[in-house]
Amino acid sequence: MSKVAIITGGGSGLGQATAVKLAEKGINIVIVDISEEGGQETIDLVKKAGSDAFFVKADVSKADEVKKYVDQTVEKYGTIDYFFNNAGISGSGKQFLDTDIDEIETIVGINMLGALYGMHYVADVMVKNGGGSIVNTSSSAGVIGQSTVVTYSATKHGIVGMTKSMVAEYAKDGLRVNAVAPGPTETPMVKKYFEDNPEMKESAEQGIPQKRLGTPEEVAELVTFLLTSDAPYINGDVIRIDGGFTSTK
């Protein structure tokens, strides 16, 4: 029987690239995103790669919508083997004291609460079924401090804590939980951030020892490795994939 993976934020960027990589391994995919257009685009790519898939439109900051995508997955496939807990937004790039409270609440709602809700409902299914593998998306801003992303950084540091603490509680039940911490990567979210803050792109590229941004496909290779049984004894780790961006920080 084919394995089953849920990917949040699966309509573009890291989520879409990972969906294709997993589909190439014959894994059935559930794509969760707020964008129907992006979600359906990913579904088409997954089916082209030879795997079954369906799309659930959801706002991950709402617990009932998170429960819905989990329930629909179990109803169709009976289980959840892999979870890429990936949905997130970056924010406007304003200095923290100039940031509106509404923006702070939105970033925390999607990046932190959305990840916690996903972990809560998915891990419950996995533990009851004997285990599973989860990869959470942190960031270089989740392992070091960075200017203009205070709220985003707070949520991504929170992802690191959530990852490690879930392992402390549930590794004995067959759960593996790891996190990836990408540096600046050529995703739609990052491209939009750099369009709004052009001075930050040059600064980022100059700060990366490899002198280029990462690609979604490079991150997807790592996520796929961590999710699948190729990495059965890696647990509770946070792996940086940033071209050396945080290596000297």
Mean pLDDT for the chain overall: 95
Provide the β-strand partners of residue 179. 136, 238
Please report, to the nearest 10 degrees, the dihedral formed by the alpha carbons of residues 115, 143, 29, 111 taken in order: 30
| 152 among known catalytic residues | yes
- Per the residue annotation, which of 121, 152, 170, 193 is the catalytic one? 152
54 — pLDDT class (breaks 50, 70, 90): very high
Res 224: pLDDT: 98
191 — pLDDT class (breaks 50, 70, 90): confident
Among the CATH numbers 3.30.70.890, 3.40.50.720, 1.10.10.10, 3.30.1360.30, which is that of 4-241? 3.40.50.720
> What is the Cα–Cα distance from 48 to 86, expressed in whole angstroms?
22
Res 198: pLDDT: 74
Taking only Cα atoms into account, the Rg of the chain, rounded to an integer number of angstroms, comes to: 17
**Helix count and strand count (H, E) for the chain:** 9, 7
pLDDT at 201 over 80: no
Q: Could you tell me if residue 228 is left (phi over 0), alpha (psi between -120 and 50 degrees) or otherwise beta?
A: beta
Structure tokens at 121: 């409902």
pTM for the whole structure: 0.95
Domain positions in the chain: 4-241
Res 116: pLDDT: 98
pLDDT at 249 over 80: no
